[in-house]
A = this chain, B = another copy of it.
Amino acid sequence: MKIRAIIPIVQPPSEPAVSPEAIVKELNQFKAPDTEIDVVFLPKGPTSIECYYDEAMAAAPILDLVIQAEKEGIDGIFIDCFGDPSVRAARELVKIPVVGAFQPSAMVASLLSNKWSIVTVLKNVVPLLHDLSKLYGVEAKISSIRHINTPVLGLSRVDIKPLLLEQLEQAFDKDGADAAVLGCTGMMGLSQFLNSEMRERGKPIPIVDPSGAAIGYLELLIRNRLSQSSLSYAQATRMT
Are the CB atoms of A33 and B30 closer together than 8 Å?
Answer: no
A233→B57 CA distance, assembly (Å): 16
Given contacts A93-B53, A137-B110, contact A216 B227 (CB under 8 A): no
Chain B residues near A140 (CB-CB < 8 A): 137
A53, A104, A178: most-surrounded residue (chain B CB, <10 A): A53
Chain B residues near A55 (CB-CB < 8 A): 89
Identify the closest chain B residue to A172 (Cβ): B231
Are the CB atoms of A112 and B232 closer together than 8 Å?
Answer: yes
Task: For the complex formed, measure the closest distance between the CB of A70 and the CB atoms of chain B, giving whole angstroms.
Answer: 14
Task: For the complex formed, measure the closest distance between the CB of A90 and the CB atoms of chain B, giving whole angstroms.
Answer: 8
Name A223's contact: one of B32, B60, B179, B232 (CB within 8 Å).
B32
Name A53's contact: one of B104, B123, B224, B236 (CB within 8 Å).
B236
Name A135's contact: one of B103, B134, B216 (CB within 8 Å).
B134
Given contacts A56-B63, A114-B130, contact A219 B32 (CB under 8 A): yes
Count of identical protomers in the assembly: 6
Task: For the complex formed, measure the closest distance between the CB of A100 and the CB atoms of chain B, giving whole angstroms.
Answer: 10
A192→B237 CA distance, assembly (Å): 28
A111→B217 CA distance, assembly (Å): 9
Task: For the complex formed, measure the closest distance between the CB of A237 and the CB atoms of chain B, giving whole angstroms.
Answer: 8
A-B contact pairs, 30 of them (CB 8 A): A30-B223, A32-B219, A51-B89, A51-B234, A52-B89, A52-B233, A53-B63, A55-B89, A56-B89, A57-B59, A57-B60, A57-B239, A59-B59, A88-B131, A107-B107, A113-B229, A114-B130, A114-B232, A125-B234, A127-B231, A134-B135, A134-B137, A137-B137, A137-B140, A204-B229, A212-B224, A216-B220, A216-B221, A216-B224, A219-B219
